[in-house]
Chains A and B, each alone.
Chain A
Amino acid sequence: MDSKERLEILKEILLTEEREFDKDLVLKIEKLKSRQDNLSDRVTPILDERMDDFVENMPKALGPVITETLKTEIKKSQEAVAEALYPVMGKMIKKYVQAEIKKLNEDINKRLNKTFSFRNWFSGKDNNIDAAALMYEQYKARIEQIMIIEKGSGLLKANYAKRPTLDEDMLAGMLTAIKSFVEDAYNQGEMELERIDYELFTIHLQNFSNYYIAVVITGIYDDDYKDKLEDVLLDFAQFVVNKSDLENPETFTKKLKSYFTDERI
């Protein structure tokens, strides 16, 4: 079986077994396209192009990663292959879609060169909740966790998580190790790591002199969001944090919680 055939099978798996996940999205986009007629004169070509790209490039992008798995699994039934790949695929596709929507959003913004954004677009016209608004809601950036971590020691000084996470002390230490590893590797004096992408999460790192703030985010983290987030974090550091807070994790954590519980961003 050559690689082309394998890709065909992959395509089939992706476009049949994965439909479960995708169906919704595609439906929403279809619906969106048919509804937003006047706007769609401008937008549809871009959207079409993107969707075509998406369908065309997906096997290409994912191909190498799964060729190995396919080699051993391919002899079994297609169903078994799909099952083996499903968890990996689900995440990759979700991430891919997310990345594509982000690009699309930025692309549209650029072309219309205005304050045009998905948010405006979706909420324009009638204010009924439609498929598009739901889609926006689905992929909107959300803060999952905020950690304030002492530089050097990597000790956690304050933590606010929406749900319980794996051990946050170890997470803080590992983040610090990764951060210093990368910074050492580039060894460019002032360079500091600002962001880590991990599976479906983006970890935004805001550096201060004795500590840094790590914000774990799901959804679309674009420049617009990054800007806003930075402002909020800088304000927090400037107006809320005192020197003594680092010595007292308990009160620091309380401060952090009360500052961010009202969905400030």
Chain B
Amino acid sequence: MSTTANDPAAPKKGGLSDLRKVFGGGQSSLRQFGILGSLIVIILIFQIWTGGLTLSPTNLINVVNQYSYILILAIGMVMVIIMGHIDLSVGSVAAFTGIIVAKSMAEWNLPWPWAIVLGIAVGAAIGAWQGFWVAYIGVPAFIVTLAGMLIFRGGNQFIGQSTTTPVPQEFGIIGAGYLPELAVPLNFNVLTMILGVVGAGWIVWNEVRARRVQQKMGSERAPMWVSVVKVVVLAGVILWAAWLFATGRPGTSFPISGIILVALVILYSFITNNTIFGRHIYAVGGNRIAATLSGVKDRRVDFFVMMNMSVLAAIAGMIYVARATASGPQDGNGWELDAIAAVFIGGAAVSGGIGTVIGSVIGGLVMAFLNNGLQLIGADADVVQIIKGLVLLFAVGVDVWSKSQGRPSILGIWGNRRKARLQTEAPDEAPTTVPGTQSNLSSQPEDARRP
């Protein structure tokens, strides 16, 4: 065996693998690299197919308005899925929160900012309820949230008497509002561009910082050109997107819901990557017993992750109600499926332990642009569903397949499709399980844990 750390041949691989690091390190980065590629391909295909409609300002704004709440759900869902759980109740929780918020404003005349606070509180309460059952009673999240799906859907229709409840116009800002115009004689939205410049600047600063840290630590650095290309491409894309948003129909610009989304993505990427709590999520998801034996309180992590999901569902529900200007009995139907699909397309593993916020958002964007593009070319809803289903299946299928292959030679590709997991989890040494440890250490019933 020889390691290539100091091997002259190593930097050759550095280029591509470092480029991949843009999308977060860790084991799923490869997958995200692929999925980002698919997103670009899908956008380009529809851009050509629709004769430039896809990347027009109006359409981009539309996509953000229409899918921001699914993407917000995906942020919470990926954390749930990393833990090895699932949350089926998000659509119902969103709808339930929506109706309470709508009623609070319509009937109790609660000012809209307070209504938002109320909505978040409702989400937290529901989350605490579900988290309690999952973490401290040990009912599998699948069951708890299946129940929640029924309970809160019913709750929505009970409170709203199965009719729609309108919300005041000011509330609409979080769902249908835009960055305001400044009183300057420029023919684009200045705030949107400022946001874009800040974003691009952050990319540059972040890369410089990363290189400095890497140098200090003496870890392997990508060649300079990789960094430059990376920064130029990413910053360019951000500025270009900002320009598109800034030059749309007068009165429109980057949507407020998009800003909420971006803020949440940044916040949760930070939490999952850089905080102790984030580490604990991956630790418990990867090996619950080893995590508890390292001092992680797994139930507490279960609880907060489930609770957090419902809070995000509440936010998504409010944004939706704001955009639709009313809360209705069918709000949020099927959202859980879109969110779960986004997470898996974005590289999460069904068995838990793997997944990233940014990947899930990219996965969600794949679904969003696919949906949007198909609508633009006039495909019917049934066709859209079929295609979305196939994309989900193929995206995850390709991933599983390529993982099982490792890095095969051409010869190896033929004839060993099924031997999948053996390679990635190549068995070597041996567990001798302490009698009873498993059931003792874990509060979860069998099926909530995966081997």
Say whether A associates with B. Answer: no
